[in-house]
Amino acid sequence: MVDDGGGTSSDETVPFAWPIVNRTDNDQWSPSTPTQPAPLPLISIPMGYALADHHDHCPAWKDWRPWTDCLWYPPQNMYTKIAHACGMHAERNLTGVMELPGEAKPPPMCGHCSFKFRCRRRDNAKDCYPLDGEVDVCHDHGQICTLPKLPHLGCGYAFINEKLKQCFTRPDTPSYVRLGYRKMFESIPKKHCIEKNGMCKCCCGDYEPNESGTECVKPPAHDCPAFGPPGEWSECLWFPLKDIVKHVEDHCHVHPEADGYRPPVVTPPGIHIPEKCGYCSFRVKCMKRDKKDGCFELKLGKKSCGHDDCPTCSDICTMDKINGSCVFPRKLKEKLWDDFTAKSKEKHMPHWKRDGYAKLLMQLPYSNCKEVGGKCKCCCHPYHPNEDGSKCVVKEYCKRVHELHDHDHHHHHHAEHHHSSSSEDKDHHHKDHAHKEHHHR
């Protein structure tokens, strides 16, 4: 493994290396920055609502609202239509959030990726999410999608969905919100991509690209068994990477397979792994099902560790620069994803197995680093460093609805202060905020 200026590999890893590193300021690309493309299904993410579990104490759902038309780019247009369908009034500026790189333009609706959406509501009640949604895929638009490769990620479009899904891995997110948000994502068509002739050929949902990348095909149904109930949360996991992998395997009672994938354990020489910090330490819970060809065995839930989990977990991470910059995590990330892509091709992994391993890899923390005072100040998604690098704050697009309203209310008088405030300030009030969020919906 080499970094910016070259170097040899070691048996340790850095907390911000894998699988993704976000850009800060002008030095590196990030899947959370305006230079990234994104698959269509992601537009519902910034709204901050979710499909909610039914609880006996929760009010009954009201009638379904009308369907939207088939949703497609630009993202702001999609968000506006979904917000209207759900009676949402929280404003989000998505201009530039999901643009294709360079001069590339989005293709016409394609790949079974466009979908209609409808919403229903229920009265506000404690621990009950007030919105429920339903998706109907627009199969008339089934020609294969041709998209440009992502900087540093190639055809890893599926990662963007997972990255935005992890907005709700914050330690201050109530469990019912986290569960509902996960259910929302499971209802939205997932993107499957392969690389052909320097471009990404993509299909969504039950459809996959054929080997030649010329059309979307529907593979035979595998009739997969349902996942069992989630287990308990693990301890807060931390690097080196080999320790994280071992803890997950032990906690989930799974064993590596000869035809599976295990990530290489690499980091630039001389890197010092700090104490748990930057919201980069995390817990997992395991959902398993019986082994069957065509059905990936394991699915993970994730929750970031904060101040209540360990004294330093929410402190910003401070690390030395490598070869004069803070971009070394990006270089490691690129090589690790290149390794996964190469190994999955070498092993001729079917889509279901490749996607299953990719989803596991995506649970690893990825950092947002900026240089401050000659040091690298880093936080892990869904946090990033504030302006002066003194603390980790929630990314704007990951804020919940009530936090957006709080921002609008205080913007004119406290803009600078609010910009540097952390969600930690609200940790002990999330139940009140949840009620406020319901009120604003």
Cis peptide before 74 (omega within 30 of 0): yes
Q: What is the rounded average pLDDT of the residues 14-39? A: 30
More confident residue, 111 or 361: 111
Q: Does the structure show a pLDDT above 50 at 264? A: yes
pLDDT band (50, 70, 90) for residue 414: very low
pLDDT of residue 366: 85
Q: What share of the chain is helix, strand, coil (3-state, %, to 5)?
A: 30, 20, 55
d(CA 313, CA 168): 17
pLDDT band (50, 70, 90) for residue 76: confident
Nearest to 123 by CA among 169, 202, 58, 72: 58
Secondary structure (3-state) at 153: coil
321 contacts 374 by C-beta, under 8 angstroms:
yes
pLDDT of residue 164: 74
pLDDT of residue 406: 61
What is the rounded end-to-end Cα distance, in angstroms, of the chain?
49
Overall number of domains in the chain: 1
Q: Does the structure show a pLDDT above 50 at 20? A: no
**Domain-located, residue 65:** yes
**Domain-located, residue 1:** no
**Domain-located, residue 360:** yes
d(CA 386, CA 423): 12
- Give the structural domain span for 362: 21-440
Alpha-carbon dihedral angle through residues 320, 324, 325, 328, given to the nearest 10 degrees:
-70
pLDDT band (50, 70, 90) for residue 93: low
Residue count (the chain) = 441
396 contacts 411 by C-beta, under 8 angstroms:
no
Place of tokens 């300030």: 425
**Domain-located, residue 13:** no
**Domain-located, residue 6:** no
Q: Does the structure show a pLDDT above 50 at 189? A: yes
* Among the ranges given (40-49, 115-124, 265-274), the one the predictor scored with the smallest mean pLDDT: 40-49
- Give the β-pairing of 145-147 and 199-204: antiparallel
**Domain-located, residue 10:** no
pLDDT band (50, 70, 90) for residue 258: confident
**Domain-located, residue 8:** no
Q: Encode pLDDT of 49-73 as tens digits.
A: 334 444 568 999 999 999 999 998 7
**Domain-located, residue 7:** no
Mean pLDDT across the chain: 77
